[in-house]
Structure 1
């Protein structure tokens, strides 16, 4: 678990020909103090006369700079009657300023920003972007304009529009299974009048009541420079950054100092228990306690205590309730750290068919035993290793949601100390079992709030979730005249994709290797040419089930022992599946690479497929499928493959697999799949490490270089022709009674080669559906306020391409939204194609963002695998700028019009049929009622 950056989830032998490894010794890691010494973020701190604190950190590995602006205001600072104002203002601050009118996303895309967004929490609001170094001055101008020159651009029309967007965001969250639990949790755990009594999203009534003057005064009172922290991290020096900050922020006047609301940590007078019904597949039991806030010295001990209890893969609750007793399909214990108070949670999802009372009783018994005896030294050290390893990985990024800029800004904002991360790490390193036991006994032995969520119809939706969107106002004040000159862009660096080294092991397994020296981490993927497309038609889900069991026990280690070994090493061995490929992956701290590879090799060569583990993973998979059937968008995506490809096509299986087939899988089925598909003559390695290839290859060679293929024939895939694309549109309606939102998904197959040049098509779609500024999103979200977000684009598989539009919309606008989607598509593909301004924006964004796309090892390894899947050359990404510059509006229009047929869409609509069908019937398309597979 991470505190300051999270608020932001067989007895038989091996079946392969090589012998199993000997019983593995307990994995030994380098000492935690050695790792902690590697965690440092050198920086300089300055303060302007107006009170703005700004911090500069140098990281010259990539020609990019992260800019992160934090305001010391969150939802806990909202008075009664103004809930949701902080989050509403986050939206308003993206809608243009006096000198930069219009949507800020447009300006960010022009300069090639990546990792850009804004977030609001209970305790702060932040805005962040990672930009090419040559765009730093423009970016600082933009952020300073947002701070000092905003209110002239906040009109009644802008307010009404963004209020509608926020309310749709609220509906979208509330409509999720279990989406209403948060209101009961915060409302009951924290008494009326407590700063954390209400949620960040706020109430519909307060949002509706917000006047233009209300929101402007909210800004004047809380968003001054003396209430903000600015962090600049990346390819920049303090000498370069300081004059720019003084130039653009120095003239902004001070504002009132927002003194964050103080609050005690409440204790319930006695245990409270409530039961809620919702559209869930299994009963979930949740316990909550209010605990000290994130600056309290006891928080680290509670965090580690939660990890041992239910956060680690090897946790007490996982071991007992999931692996051994098999009465739950999932358990967690977690800490939600807030500034003034935190929330400790313990959750169990009951296995279908098991009495929830038994699970509740066992939760209490496990907790009581844990509080009485405390954790072991090994458990504590494994949990601390997870914390330290997570921080090392996080420091690979300069910005984004959790990089170095975030770490510095958090400490400065919450603790007035940019080096607070060092104190936090020191606190973790000093934790002992006795300290954990004392903290847990002090705080988690108090009366809990228990919320039990059971399957059934919601007793009653909150009235506010049914409120109609505010009518869009057409009133708008005249735009203020610009008072400052927008600075020009500096020289933007071209992408220099890291050099790829090619080699192979003695048995012929190819290896693609990239060295990245930013952090001491190694990531590798052993890829097999398998995936869901390897499933027999009668066994949809077999590949996924096999991969899901690879790391759930070997012939020498149980699943519990594997989890414990990973935690000691700060490593993660995982297995996964996509449409075309299956993977076993390793992410580890490089000082522990050798020991981590021993574990990885055991998982690859010697999966046990223990019958008891098979039944446990089956139960989890079947419960997961049942749960995703409750989510309208996931239901639509589950229906989609069969609609596009037909049930007998390799790509035609329902997402997640067929429950009937999964329930019938035997150990022999899994072992047979492994022998046919997960073998050295069907494999390829992708590796990104701070170590050189000369060190990494011998480690791979020793462990897997002599791995021999089994005698069984290697698996093959047969791709038959999918059904022809329809020549007329139709609607498939999936009924979800009571859903406050509908999910609209439109799709068609494309007559293009996925391995060909898709840049013209991709670029044209950037205008239609490819991003925040696309016509589809601007129409339904920004203009009409019917959706929180809409998108569309090409989906490329190894042997197929499709175009998919996704639009979650408020239920009472389902028919109108589908009509608008159709109109936008029809217009774009006929008379209203890409304009020169839109193309210019797309080309600039696509080229300028490339240097920032591959900052992390994870991004590089994903790019390697993507290039391999689609047959791209090593220099593919470096060729893209030339391809983008060669585009014209005519070539972009031609590409998308050849590929996408405006009449070829099948529309899947998941929603309340009683409300939705009458709306859809007005559209004149055939409507077929279907059930989700």
Structure 2
């Protein structure tokens, strides 16, 4: 069981409350839920992705899966080239092309985000990894032809659109992507691990982000040669999954991709699994809150028979919530605040790692030694049959539920594409499932004995000043390179138009009540045999007493660390046995206990959910353990750029007395967490976690008449206390805006994290549709004014956003902008210029922006509620914000009626950049002179305290 982290900053969706002193609630003497799980073989039998496969004459492999549950089609193009295929001197090229291929093609010039947004694409992105580059989007069926035109144009008609200016700009964006990753705590460790595990010349030795020097040195002709060599149709797999037939797919792919000529064949780089000659131990320092020990081995890749046994062994060791490392080091000896073990299985090799986040004050060497003892014990004796069975059930359950989606990062299109690309078999996912179902403890033990008794690379990171490293330099101008000859463009058919996209058909919402009055809000979805339940309580971070910040999240964390006679480990084991996921968490306005379960195991899963909700133990020893973990988390927040900003800004704009004026993480501060008692936890539970303060939201493949008896049996007899239901106190006035800059000094930061904003004179329960539409143009979209300026024009950032957070009461408008350190002041000036131009400078919404926003916000509805999780989220949000159950179906008509004047007026009435307070987390020695030049008061704070 893992805690669901609270939403932070602009992603925050929910609220909090003023406490009332209540007596502690005794733990009811009720028998714990019985656990009855369906056999793994029954779950495996549920996994099937029927497909049709054909190959065009030019070598393009096409896979088609029909799924007509929604009028959308996932388009997923996978190129058989990744960073492992990059020769010396060309590292980072695959990733650079991921960026370039979104920048426009010969017959679709300009950013691909513009037409994709216009067609209503969802789940749209591109990624690069060691073994592949992929591009994917899910589009309404009437937009499919245009999506195929776009994908085929960047496959076959790309090079003529890459100008020297575009190349230089995207190099700069990549530099900032690297800075953003490097700037995180432990952000440099990946480089060390790869260079230690793999020898010079090994394809997996360099990171996917690559060498900035290699990118800087790349001429236009070198870049063109790389594209010609790797992005031909015969080096790609195209998957179409969703509302399409094989016949139509064959017609359309031949039309759009058929004329593209073959390219060279990329035979993926062979990569033997290296063995270190001797163990390597390295110690480094970084600006981190706790020591971390990482133990690493190179192991076989995904097609090796040992890959699944190693993955199962990793789960038993440190992947399950009931893993051996968790039980011994985190719950038992309490020398680590968190542990993990995983087997990252790539095409040719894998990387098995153990990560130990050492509890402050403990000896990292002793924790490492103890972890090795636990590993050696597992190797010597093997896992138990029960442990292996729990891993199998969890893996298959997650696979079943993940395949509800047709595309995106992990849906059915991904499963088919990966199998074809790596194994030459679209049904490789089935073989992997069968391998999991059949694996034995003896096979797991043998694989671990074979591979994990070899020498390992161990990296210990200690708190301290970060050691010097090669910072990403400025991308050079193309003037430094010999000009390349122009590309002769090839004419092709016109870009097809998008047909009429019908309005979304949101599932019918049914409501009922249990015998104790608890309301149940239900929607039916039957694409996969799974059920999702959320028990929402009107509490959240805003329910914390101002003197006991962090009580709500600590209480919610404790709820699934022991309940109904089961301790934390036994609860985790029960959950894993069922293949269920139970999580607890708090957003700004709600506290929630959620269940995700495969329907064959639903009865026992709901009973376990009820134990967590109704019968938590709140064990004193568990409280002390979680208190230590929470204090470590707060210390870690003080080393993270985004977390530091999100700790500082709420009080600056809301005031410390507001329920919203607390750190957005919900972790509280050191003093309050140290002072929280078990009685405080019990009082918070009695006060807020009660049936008359709750609603149950359900999305399931079972009908409501089968769901309700399960809920009635487990929740219907839960009676509310005699005390009045609590009400959160939002009476504290919002302070008058005092525009200023708070600079949090974080030395050695190659990038500055900017977070700014104001509290709007609006609440989440107000009708904010027009304002949010206007803000799509201004700040909350890849194509927004501020992102287009700072990322796509200036190249100072990897991504900038401004959005209205979805709180229930007074909402904040929040601007986030990670920028390269030497452009921090100019970036704030540029942001202000964009806001002022839009709001008061006469540069409001243009006709093109209006059309793009209206089309995108209406056409994307078809794909927005494809999954049960998305429907569940909509049910909960609509209820919290007082919207009607059919709200998603009302959006299109209202959006289609929007005018530019309405959008301009809504933005001008709500947003006032002269009221913004800015928090900047960066190196004060570099940043402060830039900020002083802006003419606002600058207050400098240390990262070590609020």
How does the TM-score come out when normalised to structure 2?
A: 0.95
Q: How do residues 294-373 of structure 1 correspond to structure 2 at under 5 angstroms? A: 294-373=302-381
Q: How do residues 806-845 of structure 1 correspond to structure 2 at under 5 angstroms? A: 806-830=816-840, 831-845=842-856
Q: Indicate yes or no: 2:279 matched with 1:279.
A: no
Could you say which residue in structure 2 is the equivalent of 1:414?
Answer: 422
**Partners of 1:628 and 1:471 in 2: how far apart?**
38
Q: Indicate yes or no: 2:599 matched with 1:593.
A: no
2:747 is paired with a residue whose SS is coil
What is the CA-CA distance between 1:856 and the residue it aligns to? 0.7
Could you say which residue in structure 1 is the equivalent of 2:473?
Answer: 467
Contact 2:315 2:323 (8 Å CA) reproduced: yes
Could you say which residue in structure 1 is the equivalent of 2:707?
Answer: 696
Contact 1:732 1:907 (8 Å CA) reproduced: yes
Contact 1:750 1:899 (8 Å CA) reproduced: yes
What is the CA-CA distance between 1:15 and the residue it aligns to? 5.5
1:490 to 495, 499, 506: 499
Could you say which residue in structure 2 is the equivalent of 1:5?
Answer: none
1:801 is paired with a residue whose SS is strand
Contact 2:72 2:862 (8 Å CA) reproduced: yes
Contact 2:24 2:679 (8 Å CA) reproduced: no
**Partners of 2:175 and 2:357 in 1: how far apart?**
30
What is the CA-CA distance between 1:338 and the residue it aligns to? 1.1
Contact 1:73 1:260 (8 Å CA) reproduced: yes
1:115 is paired with a residue whose SS is strand
Contact 1:17 1:709 (8 Å CA) reproduced: no
**Partners of 1:422 and 1:796 in 2: how far apart?**
40
1:760 is paired with a residue whose SS is helix
Comparing 481-490 and 537-546, the one that deviates more: 481-490
**Partners of 2:61 and 2:663 in 1: how far apart?**
52
1:216 is paired with a residue whose SS is helix
Contact 2:157 2:489 (8 Å CA) reproduced: no
Could you say which residue in structure 1 is the equivalent of 2:413?
Answer: 405
Could you say which residue in structure 2 is the equivalent of 1:798?
Answer: 808
What is the CA-CA distance between 1:17 and the residue it aligns to? 6.6
Contact 1:16 1:606 (8 Å CA) reproduced: no
**Partners of 1:470 and 1:627 in 2: how far apart?**
36
How does the TM-score come out when normalised to structure 1?
A: 0.97
Could you say which residue in structure 2 is the equivalent of 1:164?
Answer: 172
**Partners of 2:678 and 2:598 in 1: how far apart?**
34
Contact 1:283 1:455 (8 Å CA) reproduced: yes
Q: How do residues 831-910 of structure 1 correspond to structure 2 at under 5 angstroms? A: 831-910=842-921
**Partners of 2:736 and 2:902 in 1: how far apart?**
24
2:695 to 667, 684, 709: 684
What is the CA-CA distance between 1:20 and the residue it aligns to? 2.9
Q: Indicate yes or no: 2:205 matched with 1:207.
A: no
Contact 1:760 1:887 (8 Å CA) reproduced: yes
2:661 to 640, 652, 661: 652
Contact 1:161 1:472 (8 Å CA) reproduced: no
Could you say which residue in structure 2 is the equivalent of 1:7?
Answer: none
Q: Deviations over 1:300-323 (max 9, x none)?
A: 000000000000000000001111
**Partners of 1:145 and 1:481 in 2: how far apart?**
10
Could you say which residue in structure 1 is the equivalent of 2:453?
Answer: 445
What is the CA-CA distance between 1:725 and the residue it aligns to? 4.0
What is the CA-CA distance between 1:729 and the residue it aligns to? 3.0
**Partners of 1:592 and 1:24 in 2: how far apart?**
13
Q: How do residues 51-200 of structure 1 correspond to structure 2 at under 5 angstroms? A: 51-200=59-208
What is the CA-CA distance between 1:617 and the residue it aligns to? 1.1
Contact 2:313 2:444 (8 Å CA) reproduced: yes
2:711 is paired with a residue whose SS is helix
Q: Deviations over 1:529-583 (max 9, x none)?
A: 1111111110111101100111000141010000000111000111100111101
**Partners of 1:699 and 1:630 in 2: how far apart?**
45
**Partners of 2:857 and 2:478 in 1: how far apart?**
33
Could you say which residue in structure 2 is the equivalent of 1:4?
Answer: none
Contact 2:749 2:821 (8 Å CA) reproduced: yes
1:742 is paired with a residue whose SS is strand
What is the CA-CA distance between 1:715 and the residue it aligns to? 2.4
1:231 is paired with a residue whose SS is strand
1:50 to 55, 58, 63: 58
What is the CA-CA distance between 1:881 and the residue it aligns to? 0.9
What is the CA-CA distance between 1:480 and the residue it aligns to? 5.0
Number of residue-to-residue matches in the alignment:
917
Could you say which residue in structure 2 is the equivalent of 1:558?
Answer: 567
Could you say which residue in structure 1 is the equivalent of 2:544?
Answer: 535
Q: Indicate yes or no: 2:239 matched with 1:228.
A: no
Contact 2:27 2:616 (8 Å CA) reproduced: no
2:762 is paired with a residue whose SS is coil
2:354 is paired with a residue whose SS is strand
**Partners of 2:336 and 2:505 in 1: how far apart?**
49
Contact 2:763 2:808 (8 Å CA) reproduced: no
1:743 is paired with a residue whose SS is strand
Q: How do residues 496-507 of structure 1 correspond to structure 2 at under 5 angstroms? A: 496-507=505-516
What is the CA-CA distance between 1:929 and the residue it aligns to? 1.8
Comparing 189-198 and 753-762, the one that deviates more: 753-762
What is the CA-CA distance between 1:753 and the residue it aligns to? 3.4
Could you say which residue in structure 2 is the equivalent of 1:756?
Answer: 766
Structure 1 runs not aligned, ≥5 long: 2-13
**Partners of 1:18 and 1:905 in 2: how far apart?**
48
Q: Deviations over 1:167-220 (max 9, x none)?
A: 110111011111111111001100000000111000111111111111110000
**Partners of 1:177 and 1:158 in 2: how far apart?**
31
Contact 2:655 2:735 (8 Å CA) reproduced: no
What is the CA-CA distance between 1:795 and the residue it aligns to? 1.2
Contact 2:164 2:478 (8 Å CA) reproduced: no
**Partners of 1:21 and 1:450 in 2: how far apart?**
47
2:680 to 658, 669, 678: 669
1:191 is paired with a residue whose SS is coil
Q: Indicate yes or no: 2:924 matched with 1:916.
A: no
2:190 is paired with a residue whose SS is helix
Could you say which residue in structure 2 is the equivalent of 1:715?
Answer: 726
What is the CA-CA distance between 1:469 and the residue it aligns to? 3.8
**Partners of 2:184 and 2:488 in 1: how far apart?**
39
**Partners of 2:76 and 2:92 in 1: how far apart?**
22
Comparing 149-158 and 488-497, the one that deviates more: 488-497
Q: Indicate yes or no: 2:941 matched with 1:930.
A: yes
**Partners of 1:72 and 1:314 in 2: how far apart?**
38
2:360 is paired with a residue whose SS is coil
Contact 2:64 2:240 (8 Å CA) reproduced: yes
1:750 is paired with a residue whose SS is strand
Q: How do residues 718-757 of structure 1 correspond to structure 2 at under 5 angstroms? A: 718-726=729-737, 729-757=739-767
Structure 2 runs not aligned, ≥5 long: 2-22
**Partners of 1:273 and 1:357 in 2: how far apart?**
11
Contact 1:153 1:479 (8 Å CA) reproduced: no
1:930 is paired with a residue whose SS is strand
1:548 to 548, 551, 557: 557
What is the CA-CA distance between 1:628 and the residue it aligns to? 1.7
2:426 is paired with a residue whose SS is coil
**Partners of 1:168 and 1:469 in 2: how far apart?**
10
Could you say which residue in structure 2 is the equivalent of 1:617?
Answer: 626
Contact 1:515 1:692 (8 Å CA) reproduced: yes
Contact 1:641 1:653 (8 Å CA) reproduced: yes
What is the CA-CA distance between 1:24 and the residue it aligns to? 4.4
**Partners of 1:473 and 1:585 in 2: how far apart?**
56
What is the CA-CA distance between 1:876 and the residue it aligns to? 1.0
What is the CA-CA distance between 1:759 and the residue it aligns to? 1.3
**Partners of 1:211 and 1:619 in 2: how far apart?**
53
Contact 1:746 1:907 (8 Å CA) reproduced: yes
1:197 is paired with a residue whose SS is coil
1:22 to 23, 31, 37: 31
Q: Deviations over 1:437-473 (max 9, x none)?
A: 000000011111000011011121x22x152343487
**Partners of 1:753 and 1:249 in 2: how far apart?**
49
